[in-house]
Amino acid sequence: MDDDLATLMQAVSESPLLSPFLENWAVIDLPDCWLVAGALAQTYWNSRFGRAPTHGIADIDIVYFDANDLSEWAESRNAARIRAAFSDVPAWIDVKNQARVHLWYGDRFGFDIEPYESVSEAITTFPTTATSIGICRQNDRIALDAPFGLTDLVDAVVRPNKTQVSREVYENKAERWQALWPELTVIGWDG
């Protein structure tokens, strides 16, 4: 395990929000399932900047890929089951099937997208390079999916990933995060 991943995993292991998931990964029991995005980055920043492990974390994103059931009902059922299993975690747990994101994305963000083919493809479209990350337990090891690497995360740089996100969404996230973690270096939309 490289040093950056080891440092991230140390922060995750000390987090009362995230460690229960990795300690009980089998309970999640969803195909191609990953713990992703903001909660990972924010947990790392909290550790790096000496803040409480829960500081600023609004939700925990768990994503999976099930192209065999694109129903909202199945996704809701999976989310309810996971929230119940991890009811002691004091944060909202957001569970999304990345195979069905294209069905609602246009209504929420104003433009349609093509269906994703995997969670890995979805991660490449997350709003910032620092939050385009995912981890999961595979057997007895931790797998990492970080298409832009971990440099921006560990350097506390918030940079837009313009693959899919709008300027407005990026700027709103960056503004919120800089208020919570003023040590961050935020790169403007225009760079």
Please report, for the domain that includes residue 148, its CATH number: 3.30.460
Confidence tier at 1 by pLDDT (50, 70, 90): very low
Residue 52 covered by a domain = yes
Domain contains 164: no
167 within some domain: no
pTM: 0.94
Q: Are 62 and 89 in contact (CB under 8 A)?
A: no
Report yes or no on 122 lying in a domain.
yes
Q: Strand pairing partners for 186?
A: 158
Cα separation, 4 vs 156, in Å, equals: 12
Tell me the C-alpha distance between 137 and 135, whole Å. 7
Share of the chain above pLDDT 90, in %: 93
Who contacts 131 (Cβ-Cβ below 8 Å, separation ≥6)?
37, 38, 40, 41, 153
Q: Where are the alpha helices (DSSP H) in 36-85?
A: 38-48, 72-85
138-180 pLDDT, tens digit per residue, is 988 999 999 999 999 999 999 999 999 999 999 999 999 999 9
Tell me if 186 is assigned to some domain: no
Q: Which two tokens stand for residue 36?
A: 């992703």
The answer to whether residue 47 is domain-embedded is yes
Domain limits for position 101: 3-155
How confident is the model at residue 140, as a pLDDT?
Answer: 85
> How many domains does the chain contain in total?
1
For residue 161, being part of any structural domain is answered with no
Residues 6 or more apart whose CB falls under 8 angstroms from that of 180 comprise: 42, 55, 56
With respect to residue 54, please indicate whether it lies within any of the assigned structural domains: yes
